[in-house]
């Protein structure tokens, strides 16, 4: 069911989303080569708690048989890891890495969801272009995030833009509605046909999240039940914001 948020609910959504935005500002300043992904997870968790929020990914149970509840506060996926990388004391961030972080903060019963790919130190030109295209894919997609358009218009635009840049979108994971639940209807694929899917209406809150691979679109899941990597070993980037559909242009709630 697609939920239309009331004025009050939108205020709550904005608060949850602001926590994520502030957290990324801080992480951007603090993330350095030599840190473990576990250390970054601890910093993020503390920041969210200090801002009165709960890290909603911790213990998240997708309800899929054989998949354990998510064990950390954020997802950190490095280089060929696409999404859902599990923070670890054995995983060290290196100069030249691209590090995708995906975080959901729960505050006052509402969720805010965003992802960023951070470029650590001296990143190759190719990696930089991938990160920039992934971010731009989000902004291309939200040109259609307003009344008069449908979900498929966003999906189609993201998919075509990414393809035009020579990259692939991940097909097995998608954006989503968001609110009291981390994942609500509608699903928002990063590819598809224009003019299809539900119509956009003011009061919808949506997490739009291009996941882009430098090479082939195929992915693999690691034995931890979470980490998704590219099958061909090429790099991957992720960029996500929670947005609010209004009468006019969308509001991006996870950017300050």
Per rule CB under 6 A, is residue 71 in the interface with ligand MF3? no
| Contact call for residues 190 and 162 (beta carbons, < 8 A) | yes
57 binds, among Co ion, ligand MF3, none (CB under 5 to 8 A by kind): ligand MF3
What is the spatial distance between Cα 183 and Cα 52, in angstroms, rounded to a whole number? 21
E strands within 36-148?
54-55, 75-78, 81-83, 98-107, 110-119
Q: Least CB distance from residue 124 to Co ion, whole Å?
A: 27
Binding residues for Co ion, how many (CB under 5 A)? 3
CB of 94 to ligand MF3, least distance (A): 23
140 counts as binding ligand MF3 under rule CB under 6 A: no
Q: Are the C-beta atoms of 13 and 30 separated by less than 8 Å?
A: no
Q: Per CB under 6 A, does 9 bind ligand MF3? A: no
Cα–Cα nearest to 173, from 127, 137, 208: 208
Select 4 or 181, whichever has its Cβ closest to ligand MF3: 181
Q: Does residue number 80 form part of the binding site for ligand MF3 (CB under 6 A)? A: no
Q: What would the DSSP string read from start to end of 136-182?
A: HHHHHHGGG-STT-BHHHHHHHHHHHHHHTT-EE-SS--EEE-SSSS
75 binds, among Co ion, ligand MF3, none (CB under 5 to 8 A by kind): ligand MF3
Of the candidate residues 35, 49, 60, 202, the single one contacting ligand MF3 (CB under 6 A)? 60
CA–CA dist 214, 230 (Å, integer): 9
Which residue among 27, 82, 86, 207 contacts Co ion (CB under 5 A)? Answer: 207
Among 9, 15, 45, 57, binds ligand MF3 (CB under 6 A): 57
CB-neighbour burial class of residue 61 (10 A; exposed 0-12, middle 13-18, buried 19+) = exposed
Is position 184 an interface residue for Co ion (rule: CB under 5 A)?
no
Which residue number, 12 or 70, has a Cβ lying nearer to ligand MF3?
70
| 249 Rama class: left (phi>0) / alpha (psi -120 to 50) / beta | beta
Q: Which of 39, 45, 113, 184 binds Co ion (CB under 5 A)?
A: 113
Place of tokens 């696409």: 82
Could you tell me whether strands 236-238 and 184-188 are parallel, antiparallel, or unpaired per DSSP bridges? unpaired
Binding of ligand MF3 by 209 (CB under 6 A): yes
Closest distance to ligand MF3 from the beta carbon of 35 (Å): 20
| Residue (45 or 113) nearer to ligand MF3, CB | 113
Residue 240 sits in the site that holds ligand MF3 (CB under 6 A): yes
Contacts of ligand MF3 in 106-125 (CB under 6 A): 113
C-alpha torsion sign, points 93, 95, 101, 107: positive
Site residues, ligand MF3 (CB under 6 A): 57, 60, 70, 75, 84, 102, 104, 113, 207, 209, 240
């Amino acid at each position: 069911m697609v939920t239309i948020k009331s004025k009050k609910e939108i205020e709550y959504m904005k608060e949850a989303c602001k926590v994520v935005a502030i957290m990324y500002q801080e992480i951007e300043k603090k993330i350095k080569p030599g840190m473990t992904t576990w250390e970054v997870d601890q910093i993020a968790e503390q920041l969210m708690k200090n801002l009165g929020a709960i890290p909603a990914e911790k213990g998240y149970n997708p309800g899929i048989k054989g998949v354990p509840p998510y064990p950390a506060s954020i997802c950190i996926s490095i280089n060929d890891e696409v999404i859902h990388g599990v923070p670890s004391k054995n995983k060290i961030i290196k100069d030249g890495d691209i590090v995708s972080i995906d975080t959901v903060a729960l505050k006052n019963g509402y969720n805010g969801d965003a992802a960023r790919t951070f470029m650590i130190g001296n990143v190759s030109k190719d990696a930089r272009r991938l990160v920039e295209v992934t971010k731009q894919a989000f902004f291309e997609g939200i040109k259609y995030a307003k009344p008069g358009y449908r979900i498929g218009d966003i999906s189609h635009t993201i998919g075509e833009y990414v393809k035009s840049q020579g990259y692939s979108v991940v097909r097995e994971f998608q954006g989503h509605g968001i609110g009291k639940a981390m994942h609500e209807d509608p699903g928002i694929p990063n590819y598809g046909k224009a003019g299809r899917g539900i119509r956009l209406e003011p009061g919808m809150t949506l997490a739009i999240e291009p996941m882009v691979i430098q090479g082939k679109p195929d992915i693999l899941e690691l034995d931890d039940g979470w980490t998704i990597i590219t099958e061909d070993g090429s790099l991957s980037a992720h960029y996500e914001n929670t947005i609010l559909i209004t009468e006019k242009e969308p509001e991006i709630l996870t950017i300050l």
